Amino acid sequence: MKTATKHFLNTQDWSRSELDAMLRDAAAFKRLRTGQQLAGRSIALLFFNPSMRTRTSFELGAHQLGGKAIVLQPGKDAWPIEFDFGTVMDGEAEEHIAEVARVLSRYVDMIGVRAFPKFVDWSLDRQDRVLEGFAKYSEVPVINMETITHPCQEMAHVLAMQERLGTQDLTGRKYVLTWTYHPKALNTAVANSALTIATRMGMDVTLLCPTEDYLLDERYLDWAKQNVKENGGSFSVSHDIKAAYKDADVVYAKSWGALPYFGNWEQEKPIREQYKHFIVDEEKMALTRSGLFSHCLPLRRNVKATDAVMDSDGCFAIDEAENRLHVQKAIMARLARELD
Ligand code: CP
């Protein structure tokens, strides 16, 4: 029987030196493109939610390293899965995670999971039960392809910042994670991740959001504070747009729903509508030191950021999206080494 070694569920579970090594490997993969690190290996990619970048980059990344990726969409082209215990399974689910994860483990060497929160009850969503279910029962490494955090995006983001700033050492660089308006209440995953990795890299991090209602879950605020203690840098919250943007080295934008209104999105919507002016535009970017801006994509132009910002020389969202391919190859190659 294969034995589960180490999963890639969160960057916070990995040491700084391990993350740095994977970032160096990713930079090397960017130069070399192909390799045999996954020769004879396979990965199952389970998508409970849509994707363009994640699916494409994982499938191609496995192929370029000599491996094979299988995409499954539970509830669409694969059986719906039950994650609770003790449930009388007389509803939609045809099989249980205890069987799914173990059976897949007999076929493949790694399992990737994308499972967004249900957006009804944050106290349940924050348990990340789908990902944790796979991690518990899988006998092979599990990779988080975005659940309530998005660690692969974090790695791609850091690599792109290192490239744009011309240094691997991001310590002390001023980083602004800004909330932006979106017509729908979105997942906090990328925001949780941005805060986690920027503080992990020792940056001077400001979380810019309209009000206290848009603060992130305390788990990620605590991680940010812990990271500052361990890695230097700083972390603060601001509701002042001009002060936050002033002299920033990097601005990263993301929209998310207010946690106190979780599940009551009709109540939250008129509040969110008041903050459309958080859009990233040229006027705000002119306050920064470098004009460097990014977003994880997909992005609604002229809602989250203007055309001018997206088309500016300082926008590195496309570089970051490309880097998903390279960092995920580094992550898969690293996990494959554990299996040897
Ligand atoms: N950024 C990202 O994960 O993109 P997809 O949702 O298209 O995979």
The answer, yes or no, to whether ipTM is higher than 0.85 is: yes
Q: Which amino acid residue places its CA nearest to atom 7 of ligand 1?
A: 52
- Probe target for ligand 1 pocket from 296, 304, 319, with the most ligand atoms within 8 Å of CB: 296
Scanning the chain, the segments in alpha helix (DSSP H) are 16-32, 53-64, 97-107, 122-125, 129-137, 151-165, 189-200, 218-231, 241-245, 265-272, 282-285, 307-310, 317-339
Residue-wise pLDDT for 141-174, tens only, equals 999 999 999 999 999 999 999 999 999 999 999 9
pLDDT in tens, 261-276: 998 999 999 999 999 9
Q: What is residue 2's predicted lDDT score, i.e. its pLDDT?
A: 47
Q: Taking residues 75-81, what's their average pLDDT?
A: 97
Closest ligand 1 atom, residue 52 Cα: 7
Atom of ligand 1 nearest to the CA of 50: 6
pLDDT of residue 41: 98
- Report how far residue 177's alpha carbon sits from residue 248's, in angstroms, rounded to the nearest whole number: 10
pLDDT tens for each residue of 82-98: 999 999 999 999 999 99
73 close to ligand 1 (CB < 6 Angstrom): no
Q: Does the pLDDT of residue 4 top 60, yes or no?
A: no
Ligand 1 proximity of 297 Cβ (cutoff 6 Å):
yes
Rounded to the nearest angstrom, the distance between the alpha carbon of 198 and the centre of ligand 1 is: 19
pLDDT score for 228: 98
The answer on pLDDT for 322 being more than 90 is yes
CA of 298 to the centre of ligand 1 (A): 7
Task: List, for residues 29-39, the tens digit of each pLDDT value.
Answer: 999 988 999 99
pLDDT of residue 340: 84
Atom of ligand 1 nearest to the CA of 190: 1
| Ligand 1 lined by 53 (C-beta under 6 Å) | yes
Q: What percent of the chain has pLDDT over 70?
A: 99
Q: Average pLDDT in the 103-119 region? A: 97
Please tell me the pTM assigned to this model.
Answer: 0.97
Contact 131, 142 (CB under 8 A): yes
Is 317 a pocket residue for ligand 1 (Cβ < 6 Å)?
Answer: no
